[in-house]
Amino acid sequence: MTIATSNQLPRDWAVIIFMAIIHIAAILAFLPSNFSWTAVGLAIFLHWLTGGIGITLGWHRLVSHRSFQTPKWLEYVLVFCGTLAMQGGPIWWVGLHRHHHLYSDQDVDHHDSCKGFWWSHMGWMLYDVPAEQEIPRFTKDIAGDPVYQFLDKYFLQIQVAFAALLFLIGGLPFLFWGVFVRLVLVYHTTWLVNSATHKFGYRTFESNDRSTNCWWVALLAYGEGWHNNHHAHQYSARHGMKWWEIDMTWMMIQLLQRLGLAQKVKLVEESAGQQ
């Protein structure tokens, strides 16, 4: 099975226009009328809440890989936080992520890094990629859940309601920084895991793809930059396997363990992390 090149794939104009609007609005956030330091602090907090707690902890390590278990109510809270990151619906995202792990850096991988940095970073999203047709195959465990179905169907409307709430609370600065700047920062943080950590850094394990461990992506993406570790041991809740590989998401999982909210936490053998 092979996929068409980007020249042969149909462009997704809805995504292209949406991304253009979001990035232009993020630039407008720096106008004096749209700026406040409180709004900057809000953007940083929401980056952590939606990108770190929602995407990294919730959508990625909990749902995509089932690296640990939580009470169902907490799973839904984490998945909702991920929905606020506006990276598509959770069923769509999880399905494509699981597809990526099965076919990483092969021709059918929708963000195959062999096609270049731009393609793996964000270029692939601007086209209708064939991998989307296989999402039902990879999401049988969540596709029938009504909460996941609701969040998958209405993630855009939820973001609009969230934007309206921020505007009512803090005016234009909260709107521009809490939504547009925050979304752009979270987007590129996530995309760096698809692009930079398949190009820069070192490899601890043979993972049959081009994944690497990249320290600066790990700092930006709450531990997701230890990507070679992750691809070699994708079900491990801990990605930073050496003492100096800082993994903030693993710290959050440890906190949930201490609170009795994370069970059946999966880890690789200690010796594997020392190789």
pLDDT in tens, 234-264: 999 999 999 999 999 999 999 999 999 999 9
pLDDT tens by residue, 3-28: 445 568 999 999 999 999 999 999 99
| Residue for token pair 């803090």 | 170
Question: Would the pLDDT of 1 be above 70?
Answer: no
pLDDT tens by residue, 128-176: 999 999 999 999 999 999 999 999 999 999 999 999 999 999 999 999 9
Averaged pLDDT of the chain: 95
Question: Would the pLDDT of 47 be above 80?
Answer: yes
pLDDT at 221: 98
Q: Which two tokens stand for residue 152?
A: 């998958």
Average pLDDT over residues 68-89: 98
pLDDT at 8: 81
